[in-house]
């Protein structure tokens, strides 16, 4: 199956909008392990996830995972460039992203922060315009 960039962007956007939500503002800086690498199945196993495959294409593989009651998207990419292009498009929709080498986990802030302790990687945050509870908007608008 050949998947086009618009299809990937739409798929990512739908997943992000479905899963991203306002998280609590914990600023705990725990020791982050070196980021895992490997196939989607290997990364999912490290995260103790049984992946529910959503997309299985040459350029991207994407699955839904659960951590407790929370769901998140785990995606792997064929190239670093493909990963960065996907992230640049997806981040317009807000959300929280745990980013490793050729993989991304997307979900609520508390979920991906917890995954970081297992998978390593770096946290990235989506657009402030689509992420009203995000750290970009914490400057003086506390209610």
Summarize pLDDT for 85-100 with one digit per residue, the tens: 999 999 998 899 999 9
Average pLDDT, whole number, for the chain? 79
| pLDDT tens digits along 28-81 | 455 788 999 999 999 999 999 999 999 999 999 999 999 788 899 999 999 999
**What percent of the chain shows pLDDT beyond 90?**
58
Closest CA relative to residue 120, chosen from 50, 31, 38, 40? 31
Q: How many helices (H) and strands (E) does the chain have?
A: 4, 6
Rg value, the chain, Cα: 14
Q: Is the pLDDT of residue 4 over 80?
A: no
pLDDT given for residue 32 in this prediction: 84
Q: How confident is the model at residue 140 (pLDDT cuts 50, 70, 90)?
A: very low
Residue 138 — φ and ψ, nearest 5°? -90, 0
Residues 125-137 pLDDT 10s: 998 655 445 544 4
Distance, C-alpha 124 to centroid of its chain: 9
Q: Look at residue 127 in the predicted model and tell me its pLDDT.
A: 83
Please report where in the chains the tokens 């999912």 appear, as a residue. 44
**CB-based contact 112:121 (threshold 8 Å):** no
Structure token pair of residue 45:
């196993």
């Amino acid at each position: 199956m050949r998947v086009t960039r618009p299809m990937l962007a739409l798929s990512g956007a739908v997943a992000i909008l479905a899963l991203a939500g306002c998280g609590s503002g914990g600023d705990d800086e725990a020791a982050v392990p070196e980021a895992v690498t490997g196939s989607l199945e290997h990364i999912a196993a490290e995260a103790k996830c049984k992946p529910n495959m959503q997309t299985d294409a040459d350029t991207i593989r994407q699955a839904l995972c659960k951590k407790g009651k929370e769901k998140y998207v785990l995606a792997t990419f064929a190239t670093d460039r493909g990963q960065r292009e996907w992230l640049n498009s997806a981040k317009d929709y807000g959300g929280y992203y745990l980013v490793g080498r050729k993989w991304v986990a997307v979900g609520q802030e508390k979920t991906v922060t917890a995954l970081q302790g297992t998978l390593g990687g770096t946290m990235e945050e989506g657009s402030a315009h689509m992420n009203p509870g995000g750290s970009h908007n914490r400057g003086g608008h506390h209610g």
